[in-house]
Structure 1
Amino acid sequence: MDRMGASCPSPSTHTDSVRVAIEALSVSTELVEEELKPYLDTVLTVAIERKKGIAEQMADSGILPVLAQILRRKSTLTTPTVRLVAELARYPPMKEQCFDTGIVSALVTLLLNQDQDLLLHVNQAIARICYESNLQQERFLKLGAVPRLASVLLLHSGNEALRSSCLLALCNLANMGEEDGSMLAWDEGAHFSEGERVFRGTSRYSFGFSSVVTMVRLKQTNGQYSVTVEVLQRCSTLLWGANNGRQAGHRSPNLTHLGSCPKLYKVIKCSVKNIPRYRSLRATVFHSLL
C-alpha cells in the first residue's frame, strides 16, 4: 500500500478532504492503522453530520468491502468503523450493499465481543440495516443474529443505552420497530413464569387518548430461548369509558385520570379492524438456541 499521507496532495477545501479520505479508504489493500485512522475520522465526521450527497458518494466509491475487512480484524479502528457503518446504514444505497460486501456477517460476529460501547454501535447498525427490509431481516436471521442479540441483552440489561439498542434490533428483525428507536423508552416489566424476561417499550411522546406499547419477551425452555415481539395498543380510561357509555345509551362519567385499558389489548390482538394505519399488528416469535 502506498503511503497515502505522502502521496496525496494537501486538500485545500473541506470537500477535497472528504474526497481524498474516501478515495484513500476505498483503494486500501493493507490495513495500516496509523495511515487509515485520519481518513476514517474524516469520513465518520461527515457521516455523522449527514452531509447531502455523502451516502451516494460513498456508495459509488466501493468503500464498504474495506470497512468489512477492518471489522473482521481486532484493532483500534473497529469501533469507529462500526460507528461509520451505523451512520451509513441510514441510507438505502448503502444498506443494500451491506450483505454482498461482508458487512452483515462481520456485524453478527462482533456480537460476540464484550466491549459494551462497540456492541451499542453494532446493535444500531443491525437495527438500521434491517429497518423495513424483509431481505436484510432474513439474512441476519439465517446468520444467527437473534441468539447473539438475546445473549447481549441478558448479559448487559443494566446498561440502559445498550439494552435499548439491542431491543430495537430485535424489534426491527421482526419488522416491528423503528429506524433509530428514539421514540421509545424501555423498562423491564414483571414476569409471570420462571426463566422469562419481559421488556416494555412505550412512546416518549403520547398524543390523544391512545398509545402503542412494544413488548419483547425472552423465555427459556429446555436450553432454548424464544424471543417474542408484540405490538399492542392501549387507550385512556376516558376513551374506554366513553365507548362503553355510547354502547349503553348514556353519557360516560367525567374521569379525571388516564390509565391503560387491559381489555383493549385482547381486542386489538385478535381484530385487524382496529390496527393503526402506520403500524401492522403482529406477534413474531424467534426460537433460538443459546
Structure 2
Amino acid sequence: MDKMGASRPLPNVPKDSLSAAIEAISVSTELVEEELKPYLDTVLNVAIERKKGLSEQVVESGILPVLAQILRRKSMLTTHTARLVAELARDAPVREQCFETGIVSALVTLLLSQDQDLLLHVSQAIARICYDSNLQQERFLRLGAVPRLVSVLLQHTENEALLSSCLLALCNLADMGEEDGSMLSWEEGAYFGEGERVFRGTSRYSFGFSSAVTVVRLKQWTNGQYSVAVEVLQRCSTMVWGAKNGHQNGHRLPNFAHLGSCPKLYKVIKCSVKNIPRNRNLRAAVLHTLL
C-alpha cells in the first residue's frame, strides 16, 4: 500500500520546548514561514507521541484559529499544518473546537487541491473530526464536503492511502465508520450497473467465526450527480448459522474443524438514510449530493 504521508516521528525535542513552540505559534503573525516551521514540528512530534494533556493545552492556548489561518494561506506550510491538524484531531477536545476556530471550513476548501499528499492529510483530519459526532457530520455536509471527497476519490483511485482515507471520511460522515481506519483494507468490487462504483473494506485481522465488512457504493444518477450508500455487513459462516438453528431445534452441534472452507453469508446489521430524494430506491442510502 502507498505509504505516502504516513506518520514519521520527528527528532526528539526537549520537554520544555512544547510550551515555547505553542506560544510562538500563537503569535505567528510576527514570524516568517521558515521561523514558524520548527515550532510546528515540535508540536507535531508531541502529537504523534500522543502525549497526555496535549489536546487540552492546544485548545487553551488558542492556536487552533492560527492553524486555520495557515491552512487558508496555501503556503509551503499548508501540507505540514494539515498533517498536524490530522494528528491533533485524534483527541476529542480538539475535534470539538475545529468548527468554531475555522479549521473545518479551511479543510473543506483544501479538498479542491490537486496535491495528493495534502489531500491525504486533509481527508484524514475530516474523518477524525466527524467521527461519532452528528453535529460535526452535519457541519461538513452543509459545507459540501461529500461531493469534494467523492471527486478526490474518483480522481485518485490509484493512490491506495488516499483512497482509504476518503472512504473512511465518507463512512464517518454517515456515522458508520471508525475513528482509525488503518485496520481496514479496501478493494474495489464488481460493477453492478452503469455509473456505479463499489468499494469493500474488510478488517486486516479477523478473529472468530465472523467479521464486519463495510461497503461504500457510489451511484451516478445524472451528469455529475451522485448518491453515496454506506452499509456495514456482518459476514459469518453458514455453519455458524446452522449451528445456531440446530441448537434451537435440539440437534447436535456440527464440528467446526472445516469452518475456513465454508461459503459465507452476509447479513445487514446497520444502515443509515440521509438526504436522498424520495423517488430513489436504495437499501442503505446515506448521502446525496451534486458534484
Report the alpha carbon displacement of residue 15 of structure 1 after superposing the two structures with TM: 2.7
Give the 3-state SS of the residue equivalent to 1:14 in structure 2.
Answer: coil
Report the alpha carbon displacement of residue 29 of structure 1 after superposing the two structures with TM: 2.3
Aligned pairs for 1:267-278 (under 5 A) are 268=269
Corresponding position of 1:191: 191
Report the alpha carbon displacement of residue 28 of structure 1 after superposing the two structures with TM: 2.2
| 1:218-257: CA deviation from partner (whole Å, max 9, x where unpaired) | 0101121100001111111321232343466544654624
5+ residue gaps, structure 2: 1-12, 272-282
Aligned pairs for 1:75-86 (under 5 A) are 75-86=75-86
Report the alpha carbon displacement of residue 48 of structure 1 after superposing the two structures with TM: 1.0
Give the 3-state SS of the residue equivalent to 1:229 in structure 2.
Answer: strand
Letter of the 1:61 counterpart: S
Corresponding position of 1:120: 120
Structure 1 residue 56 corresponds to structure 2 residue 75: no
Report the alpha carbon displacement of residue 14 of structure 1 after superposing the two structures with TM: 1.6
User: Is the 1:234–1:260 Cα contact (8 Å) retained in structure 2?
Assistant: no
Corresponding position of 1:225: 226
Change (3 A) 1:178 1:23: same
The TM-score, its normalising length taken from structure 1, stands at 0.86
Distance 1:41 1:59 in 2: 18
Corresponding position of 1:234: 235
Aligned pairs for 1:252-271 (under 5 A) are 254=255, 256-258=258-260, 259-262=262-265, 264-265=266-267, 268=269
User: Is the 1:28–1:66 Cα contact (8 Å) retained in structure 2?
Assistant: yes
Distance 1:196 1:70 in 2: 37
Give the 3-state SS of the residue equivalent to 1:182 in structure 2.
Answer: helix
Report the alpha carbon displacement of residue 122 of structure 1 after superposing the two structures with TM: 0.6
Aligned pairs for 1:13-52 (under 5 A) are 14-30=14-30, 32-52=32-52
Corresponding position of 1:9: none
Report the alpha carbon displacement of residue 155 of structure 1 after superposing the two structures with TM: 0.8
Distance 1:212 1:72 in 2: 38
Report the alpha carbon displacement of residue 284 of structure 1 after superposing the two structures with TM: 4.5
Give the 3-state SS of the residue equivalent to 1:52 in structure 2.
Answer: coil
Give the 3-state SS of the residue equivalent to 2:165 in structure 1.
Answer: helix
Distance 1:100 1:15 in 2: 30
Corresponding position of 1:212: 212
Letter of the 2:267 counterpart: Y
RMSD: 2.0
Structure 1 residue 201 corresponds to structure 2 residue 229: no
Question: Structure 1 residues 246-255 or 98-107, which shifts more?
Answer: 246-255
Distance 2:22 2:206 in 1: 42
Distance 1:260 1:130 in 2: 36
Letter of the 2:237 counterpart: S
Report the alpha carbon displacement of residue 100 of structure 1 after superposing the two structures with TM: 0.8
The TM-score, its normalising length taken from structure 2, stands at 0.85
Higher Rg: 1
Distance 2:167 2:68 in 1: 24
Letter of the 1:48 counterpart: I
Report the alpha carbon displacement of residue 269 of structure 1 after superposing the two structures with TM: 6.3
